[in-house]
Amino acid sequence: MRPVVGCTIRGTHMNKLLRIEKLVKHFGHGKKAVTVLNHVDLDIHAGEIVGLAGESGSGKSTLARCIAGLHSYDSGAVYFQDALLPKKFSAVDFCQQAKKLQMIFQDPLSSLNPRLTIGDILLEPLRLNSDLSAEMQEQLAIQWLQRMSLKSSDLSRYPHSFSGGQLQRIGIARALIRQPQLLICDEPISALDVSVQAQIINLLKDLRDELGLTLLFIGHDLAMMRYLCDRVAVMHQGEIVEQGCTTDVLEHPQHAYTRKLVNSSPIFL
Amino acid sequence: MSHPALQIEALSVTLPTARGIVHAVRNVNLAIAAGEMLALVGESGCGKSVTAQAIMGLLPDSARTHAHTALFNKQPLLTGKYQKNIAMIFQNPMATFNPVLTIGYQIAEPLRLLHGYSRKDAEHETVRLLERMQIADARQKSLRYAHEFSGGMLQRAAIAMALACKPELLIADEPTTALDVSTQAEVMALLTELRVEKNLSMLFITHDLGLVSHHADRIAVMYAGEIIETASTSSVLDNPAHPYTRALLAALPIRHSNARLAALEGSPPDLRFPPPACAFAERCAKAMPICIQQSPPVVEQHHAARCWLHNTGHTHE
């Protein structure tokens, strides 16, 4: 495998925000157990955008969900700011970790509760854990909506009345309202139109620069990853087969699987 | 183009909904020659799938379809009857197949019903078709059910099912959107092979300009129910004439460039109340007073664009 060096990292140098060591995850028990993550090592530095590429079933989403505590893992270790995350999250762990790490998902409509207004959706994370007054909370929600190019009157509308791109922006606002350090984006643009994809990608890039966010971006559009990510890791059958600087990996892929992936990308690569 | 196999002029479709009548397709002209692949490109809700469903006769009874001309190989379309020589593949292969019938049974069905094959002959032909789709161990696989197939394999089986109809026109409605990049490349290669082999005409619906750049002969760009630009693939990609097409291309990341992606602001018009003039004027950076007053003329040329900027009929800069 390519050594993970020689890559200029944005923001704070070599400040590891997330460290994943020999992570193993099985689904099922005994003879039927399937190894979904097989000794995965991955570092994410503060302020960078790391892309995670690979086909469906390669374990990208499972890895993301293990980091976020949505799945327990079997062995290995995940360190967030040098603190070891438990293998299985308790309710308290969730509350604490949710301040630091948030996620956005592929299908923006199904990731928002259809029976809550946008206001409720945005305020819920604040209500659960914030010392701000109710008024301040609402101010904050409105600020975020405006940052997402939505109107403050949208607070009282329901998810079904928005377009896909708008919903994804609401999802981003919900994730960022608590000011996490790491945002995991699980294929956030796969369900969107090309013109809207560009909006979301621009937005993510801007937010990274404004807030000093760190992003783990999962996707399979290599052209978009080349544009967005500082580093990429390629996953295949539960293993990271190659990782490094985006241009290195995509211009000079070393692993046969990466080459196959690069060759099957349609255009502009 | 010598003589188009599919010829559609002034196709309009309206769909009644609870909240008003939607003018989903407005005055669309399409022509596809035998063996040609036309890519119909546009955002969700622009009417590309409704156009395909109108050609196929798959629209609900409540839909009103009207066309000046609608012919395929000189046979009239939009008659409300099943089109024997047109087949279609869909976006989600999992939903294409009936989950309680074997894949083989479903591929054999059109062979037996449309083409009068005996059960045994249909079985043979099914296996042959699956083999042609590069599905290993085809005989065994034909006895399997949809949930036992992977997405890419299932989409190839869906193509086999479409080919069992022995079509002359294949409509592919975003057939690779639900697939991985590597599987997508395989399916595209297969479709291109089949097109050459069987001289199939293809209407390929997608929102991915990158995907069609290698495969389509011509591209038609659709916006708000209208076709706003039609030309050969290279002409559309190298010299996009309509501001909307330019915006679509600018939204794609370009190799060796870190320039900011040009996102298209705003959203398409509500097709319950289609704008009387140019539908794109509201979002267009180059809009002129005339754009919101009068509908731009359609100049039928090698590179046709429905835009006032090209009123002279000369589209290349």
- Quote the CA–CA distance of B45 and A31 in Å, as a whole number: 47
The domains of chain A, with CATH numbers, are: 16-109+181-264 (3.40.50.300)
Give contacts of A 35-74 with B, CB under 8 A. 55-56
Q: What is the ipTM of this complex?
A: 0.76
The answer to whether residue B184 is domain-embedded is no
From the candidates B182, B234, B256, B280, which should be mutated to test the interface with A, based on the most A CB atoms within 10 A? Answer: B182
Q: Is residue B316 part of a domain?
A: no
Whether residue B263 and residue A198 make contact (CB cut-off 8 A), yes or no, is yes
Assess if residue B110 is contained within a domain.
yes
Digitized pLDDT (tens) for each residue of chain B, 317 residues in all: 457 899 999 999 999 999 899 999 999 999 999 999 999 999 888 999 999 999 998 898 899 999 999 999 888 888 877 788 999 999 888 899 999 999 999 999 999 999 999 999 999 999 999 999 999 999 999 999 999 998 889 999 999 999 999 999 999 999 988 888 888 888 999 999 999 999 999 999 998 888 888 899 999 999 999 999 999 999 999 999 999 999 988 888 876 677 888 888 888 889 999 998 999 998 888 888 888 888 888 766 678 888 888 765 444 43
In this structure, the answer to whether residues B304 and B229 fall within a common structural domain is yes
On chain A, the residues whose CB falls within 8 A of the CB of B43 are 193-196
Q: Burial code of B223-246, b = ≥16 C-beta within 10 A, e = fewer?
A: bbbbbbbbbebebbbeebbbbbbb
Are residues B243 and B215 both part of a single domain? yes
Supply A185's token pair: 């984006």
Is B214 in the same domain as B258?
yes
* B174 within domain boundaries: no
Contact of B203 with B31, CB cutoff 8 Å: no
CB contact under 8 A, A195 and B43: yes
Among chain B, residues having any CB pair with chain A shorter than 8 Å are: 43-44, 151, 180-186, 207-211, 213-214, 247-248, 250-255, 258, 260-265, 267
Backbone angle region of B37, left / alpha / beta, with phi > 0 → left and psi within -120 to 50 → alpha:
beta
Pairwise CA distance, residues A150 & A170, whole Å:
9
User: Into how many domains does chain B fold?
Assistant: 2
Query: Does residue B155 lie in a domain region?
Result: yes
**Full domain range(s) for residue B135:** 86-166
Using the predicted structure, report yes or no on whether residue A8 has a pLDDT greater than 60: no
Q: Check whether residue B62 and residue B14 sit in a common domain.
A: yes
Domain boundary residue among B119, B143, B166?
A: B166
CATH at B24: 3.40.50.300
A179 three-state secondary structure: coil
- Cβ of A264 and B184 within 8 Å? yes
* Residue B20 sits in the same domain as residue B112: no
Q: Which of B115, B144, B166 is the last residue of a domain?
A: B166
Closest by CA to B174, choosing from B204, B201, B139, B132, is B204
Residues B65, B214: one domain? yes
Alpha-carbon Rg for chain A, nearest whole angstrom, is 19
Same domain, B276 and B129: no
Which pLDDT belongs to residue A267?
61
Are both B270 and B124 inside the same structural domain?
no
Whether residue B177 is contained in a domain is answered as no
Give the amino acid at A82: D
Query: Are B76 and B208 in a shared domain?
Result: yes
CA distance B81 to chain A (A): 33
Q: Are residues B209 and B81 in the same domain?
A: yes
Would you state the pLDDT for residue A7?
A: 58
**In the prediction, which pLDDT does A5 show?**
47
Domain-terminating residue out of B118, B140, B166: B166
Strand duo B20-32 + B6-17: pairing: antiparallel
Q: Nearest chain A Cα to B179, which residue? A: A56
Residues B95 and B231 in one domain: no
Query: Does residue B213 sit in the same domain as residue B289?
Result: yes
Give domain status of residue B181, yes or no: no
**CB of A58 within 8 A of CB of A237?**
yes
pLDDT value of position B179:
83
B239 is a domain residue: yes
The whole-number pLDDT of residue B2 equals: 56
Contact in structure between B94 and B103 (CB atoms under 8 Å): no
